[in-house]
Amino acid sequence: MSDRILGAACLVTSAAMAWAARDYAAAISYEPVGPSAFPLLLAGLMAAGGAWLVARPALRGNSLHGVPAVPTALCALAVLVYALLFQWLGFAAATAAMAVPVGMAFGGSLKQSLAAGAGLGLALFFLFDKALDAVLPTGVLSFVLGGR
Amino acid sequence: MDTLQHLVAGFGVALTPLNLLIAAMGALIGTVVGLLPGLGPINGVAILMPLAFAMELPAESSLILLAAVYIGCEYGGRISSILLNVPGDAGAIMTALDGYPMARKGLGGVALSISAWSSFVGSLIATVGIVLFAPLLASWALSFGPAEYFALMCFAFACIAGLMGDAPLKAGLAAIIGLSLSCVGLDSNSGVYRFTGGDVHLSDGIQFIVVVIGVFSISEILLMLQEHHTSTGLITDTGRKLFNAKEMAQTWWGTVRSSVVGFVVGVLPGAGATIASAMTYSMEKRLTDKDGTFGKGDIRGVAAPEAANNSAATGSFVPMLTLGVPGSGTTAVMVGALALYNITPGPALFTQQPALVWGLIASLFLANAILLVINIPLVGAFTQVLRVPNWILVPGILAVSAVGVYAVHATTFDLVLMAALGGVGYLLRKQGVPMAPLILGFVLGDLMEQNLRRALSITSGDPSILVESPIAVGLWVGAAAMVAVPPLLRLRRHARFHADAATA
């Protein structure tokens, strides 16, 4: 990814922002500056910055060069799946499931990562839910851990 | 005298058993978070903030917790710099330059203890600085109107962009992205929903914690995959544990100088510990390095940046408490924490919430003393943390981050948004876009828009009010200087370098 792409992304985002903000208007206006002015100002600044990056990119090469692509993508996907399953599977089970791909991406073996995940899931559940009163979902393990 | 009275009352707040325990816990957690490479004060504070809220701690207690974590991180960062040559957080980069060579010479224990001592001196000087200057600044800032506030926030962004160094444009873009994110949700003045796409989850805006944890913690984990560190380079033979009187005398004035400079840099909105430690390291090098020993394990090169990063971190409380404009990414997160309690920092805080402000200041003194005590004798225990393998550590960080996000609204939506922002944050960081201005923008967005609209309402739309008062004009000039001067200096240095090369 080069700065040109970042600049282009800024231009597209700012255009979308400006388009969405174009007709924000208060039903009854009692002030000279309405709800659309500030977003439009920001969209303008973002467009200017994006245009500058497209015209004069500081970073021309591929910034993602040398990134371990497979582990990074795997981790990012694991975080997303973790987010989706968090409530449904419950904290302890979802954490154990998440720790397998993430742990393995960070050099653990399958067994190590699963053990770490299960341990973390249960230990953190008891720490936060039971000891510190931050309520967490129990999901599929609700028959042992109680709650929802 | 007034100040002294308030300070005594503040110690009354800080010395309650709960707050004392919280300060000690925060100091301990902060040191651990600080020494772990990849986790800095922003992550520590961001992860603990929702938990403190979920545990229903009172506002002053959770602020004390976060402050102790912040200062603790500045202590902890040095440990991995010295023993592993990997800075534990950004403020400790400079410490590695002389700290690691010292450790390799068998002086690791001396480097660790002298840096704990100079951290202590730095924090102490800066806390005294807060006591002396913050009330003055607050009473002066009471006269600020919306136009001055708008100019002040632009000044803060100019500072962060100008001082961020190589990419002011990208720092500016980051700030604009942050400001744009803060526009999402209900506009309280007009009742219009902005950028929600009709989704009910976005109607009261994007949760602050989701943004912070997404762009800092989640993206950090993805970045860590590339910069895998192992504990193989860890130096375990640290030799003599404590510095001696000669070493203390040798570093004393450098420590004091760096503390004062660090405090001043920390007070500037936007500039923080990283810049302060880099500045003071090169300052000390110029002033005292006669034999060219800096970089080869000079004890003065360890003491100076450590004093500076602590005093800058402590100093960054000044603009946060007095102006409501945070001085660093971490204090920006604390402003967000106070917002959870419906407290808006600003000059009125000193009169409306004296227990909160002075309790915090008093706990800075206490936390600092606790940190000195735990950091010299217990440093060996902390180094054991560096041996925890990443395949346990990273899933653990991820799980605790998710708990933090979930604690606020208990929705899957927030967790998914966290994952998405983490991905976007990762790509932006790979592209050299710094995240601290983004957080600053997100925190200040609403305040900035409100002040702009209020200012323009006063004159029914005439923008000349923005440059009417001398204070506002001063801030605009300062902002312009902050953006223009550093690149010009760089250009001049560059030109001189080329001239030297041509004559040589």
Q: Which two tokens stand for residue B327?
A: 């001085």
DSSP-assigned letter for residue B214? I
pLDDT of residue B137: 87
Give B198's contacts in chain A (Cβ within 8 Å): none
Nearest to A91 by CA among A48, A53, A132, A142: A142
pTM, entire model: 0.85
C-alpha distance from A46 to closest chain B C-alpha (Å): 7
Residue A27 has pLDDT above 60, yes or no: yes
pLDDT of residue B419: 94
C-alpha distance from B390 to closest chain A C-alpha (Å): 6
Range B307-321 burial, b when 16+ CB lie within 10 A, else e: bbbbbbbbbbbbbbb
pLDDT of residue B498: 67
**Contact B399/A26, CB-based, under 8 Å?**
no
- Specify if A73 maps to a domain: yes
User: Between A and B, how many residue pairs show a Cβ–Cβ distance under 8 A?
Assistant: 210
Nearest to B222 by CA among B437, B403, B418: B418
Q: Based on the fold, state whether residues A88 and A37 are members of the same structural domain.
A: no
Q: Which two tokens stand for residue B25?
A: 């816990």
d(CA B88, CA B111): 15
Mutation target among A4, A41, A42 for the B interface, most CBs of B within 10 A: A42
Minimum CA–CA partner of B197 in chain A: A20
Of A1, A88, A107, the CB nearest to B430: A1
Give the residue carrying structure tokens 């990814």.
A1
**Contact A17/B180, CB-based, under 8 Å?**
yes
Range B376-415 burial, b when 16+ CB lie within 10 A, else e: beebeebbebbeeebbbbbbbbbbbbbbbbbbbbbbbebb
Nearest to B345 by CA among B362, B329, B325: B325
pLDDT of residue B24: 92
Cα distance from N-terminal residue to C-terminal residue, chain B: 61
Specify whether the CB–CB gap between B77 and B34 falls below 8 A: yes
Residues B146, B150, B151, B152: what is their CA dihedral angle, to the nearest 10 degrees? 100
Q: Based on the fold, state whether residues A26 and A90 are members of the same structural domain.
A: no
Q: What angle do CA B17, B23, B26 make, to 5 degrees?
A: 135
Q: Based on the fold, state whether residues A50 and A84 are members of the same structural domain.
A: no
**Residue A147: pLDDT band with limits 50, 70, 90:** low
**Contact A82/B191, CB-based, under 8 Å?**
no
Of B172, B393, B456, the CB nearest to A33: B456
Minimum CA–CA partner of B422 in chain A: A76
Tell me what the pLDDT averaged over chain B comes to. Answer: 85
Rounded mean pLDDT of B191-213? 83
Residue A78 has pLDDT above 80, yes or no: yes
pLDDT of residue B422: 93
Range B107-132 burial, b when 16+ CB lie within 10 A, else e: bbbbbbbbbbbbbbbbbbbbbebbbe
Residue B86 has pLDDT above 70, yes or no: yes
Minimum CA–CA partner of B407 in chain A: A134
**Contact A72/B433, CB-based, under 8 Å?**
no
B331-348, pLDDT tens digit by residue? 888 888 888 888 888 888
**Contact B192/A99, CB-based, under 8 Å?**
no
Q: Which of A55, A77, A99 is where one domain is finished?
A: A55
Rounded mean pLDDT of A13-37? 82
C-alpha distance from B219 to closest chain A C-alpha (Å): 9
**Contact B402/A83, CB-based, under 8 Å?**
yes
Quote the domain boundaries for residue A126.
69-145
- Specify if A35 maps to a domain: yes
* Cross-strand bridge partners of residue B187: B192
Per the model's pLDDT, the better-predicted residue between B261 and B159 turns out to be B261
Give A75's contacts in chain B (Cβ within 8 Å): 221-222, 225
C-alpha distance from A68 to closest chain B C-alpha (Å): 6
**Residue A145: pLDDT band with limits 50, 70, 90:** confident
Q: Based on the fold, state whether residues A42 and A20 are members of the same structural domain.
A: yes
d(CA B291, CA B298): 10
Specify whether the CB–CB gap between B171 and B156 falls below 8 A: no
**Residue A1: pLDDT band with limits 50, 70, 90:** low
Compute CA distances A105 → A136, B88, B426, B488, whole Å: 26, 22, 17, 44
Of B190, B398, B416, the CB nearest to A34: B190
Of A10, A49, A76, the CB nearest to B423: A76
- Specify if A13 maps to a domain: yes
Question: Which spans in B268-348 are helix H?
Answer: 273-288, 300-315, 317-323, 329-340
Residue A94 has pLDDT above 90, yes or no: yes
Give B389's contacts in chain A (Cβ within 8 Å): 106-108
Give A33's contacts in chain B (Cβ within 8 Å): 452-453, 456-457, 461
Residue A148 has pLDDT above 60, yes or no: no
Residue B429 has pLDDT above 70, yes or no: yes
- Specify if A29 maps to a domain: yes
**Residue B500: pLDDT band with limits 50, 70, 90:** low
Residue B225 has pLDDT above 70, yes or no: yes
3-state secondary structure B155-202: HHHHHHHHHCCCCHHHHHHHHHHHHHHHHCEEECCCCEEECCCCCHHH
C-alpha distance from B269 to closest chain A C-alpha (Å): 21
- Specify if A127 maps to a domain: yes
- Percent share of chain B, pLDDT over 70: 96
B148-195, pLDDT tens digit by residue? 989 988 888 888 777 766 678 888 899 999 999 998 988 877 778 888
Query: Is the dihedral angle over the CA atoms B101, B104, B105, B108 positive or is it negative?
Result: positive
Rounded mean pLDDT of B320-324? 87
Q: Based on the fold, state whether residues A50 and A81 are members of the same structural domain.
A: no
C-alpha distance from A64 to closest chain B C-alpha (Å): 7
C-alpha distance from B195 to closest chain A C-alpha (Å): 7
Of B191, B195, B398, the CB nearest to A79: B398
C-alpha distance from B471 to closest chain A C-alpha (Å): 23
Q: Based on the fold, state whether residues A77 and A136 are members of the same structural domain.
A: yes
Say what angle helices B59-84 and B300-315 make with each other, to 10 degrees: 160
**Residue B107: pLDDT band with limits 50, 70, 90:** confident
d(CA A81, CA A89): 11
Q: Which two tokens stand for residue B234?
A: 């860890």
Neighbouring residues of B458: CB distance < 8 A, sequence distance ≥ 6:
B145, B146, B465
**Contact B402/A46, CB-based, under 8 Å?**
no
Q: Based on the fold, state whether residues A51 and A78 are members of the same structural domain.
A: no
Q: Based on the fold, state whether residues A44 and A103 are members of the same structural domain.
A: no
Q: Based on the fold, state whether residues A135 and A81 are members of the same structural domain.
A: yes
Q: Which of B195-204, B373-382, B468-477, B495-504 has the highest mean pLDDT?
A: B468-477
Range B50-74 burial, b when 16+ CB lie within 10 A, else e: bbbbbbebbbbbbbbbbbbbbbbbb
Residue B109 has pLDDT above 60, yes or no: yes
**Residue B477: pLDDT band with limits 50, 70, 90:** very high
How would you class B432 by CB atoms within 10 Å of its CB: exposed for 0-12, middle for 13-18, buried for 19 or more? middle
Of A43, A52, A112, the CB nearest to B391: A112
C-alpha distance from B166 to closest chain A C-alpha (Å): 10
- Specify if A62 maps to a domain: no
pLDDT of residue B271: 66
**Residue B504: pLDDT band with limits 50, 70, 90:** very low
B278-287, pLDDT tens digit by residue? 888 888 888 8
Residue B311 has pLDDT above 90, yes or no: yes
C-alpha distance from A143 to closest chain B C-alpha (Å): 20
**Contact A95/B416, CB-based, under 8 Å?**
no
Q: How many domains does chain A have?
A: 2
Q: How far is CA B341 from the centre of its chain?
A: 21
d(CA B274, CA B94): 9
Q: Based on the fold, state whether residues A99 and A133 are members of the same structural domain.
A: yes
Mutation target among B53, B55, B176, B202 for the A interface, most CBs of A within 10 A: B176
Q: Based on the fold, state whether residues A74 and A141 are members of the same structural domain.
A: yes
Of B177, B192, B399, the CB nearest to A35: B192
Specify whether the CB–CB gap between A102 and B398 falls below 8 A: yes
Of B173, B398, B453, the CB nearest to A33: B453
**Contact B399/A53, CB-based, under 8 Å?**
no
Q: Based on the fold, state whether residues A91 and A140 are members of the same structural domain.
A: yes
**Contact A24/B187, CB-based, under 8 Å?**
yes
**Contact B395/A71, CB-based, under 8 Å?**
no
- Specify if A114 maps to a domain: yes
Per the model's pLDDT, the better-predicted residue between B419 and A142 turns out to be B419
- Specify if A64 maps to a domain: no
Give A59's contacts in chain B (Cβ within 8 Å): 431-432
Give B216's contacts in chain A (Cβ within 8 Å): none
Give A84's contacts in chain B (Cβ within 8 Å): 412, 415-416
C-alpha distance from B96 to closest chain A C-alpha (Å): 25
**DSSP states of B50-84 as a string?**
HHHHHTT--HHHHHHHHHHHHHHHHHHHHHHHHHH
Mutation target among A13, A14, A79 for the B interface, most CBs of B within 10 A: A79
pLDDT of residue B248: 85
pLDDT of residue B20: 92
Q: Which two tokens stand for residue B99?
A: 């700290």
Say which range, A64-68, B60-64, B139-143, has the weakest mean pLDDT: A64-68
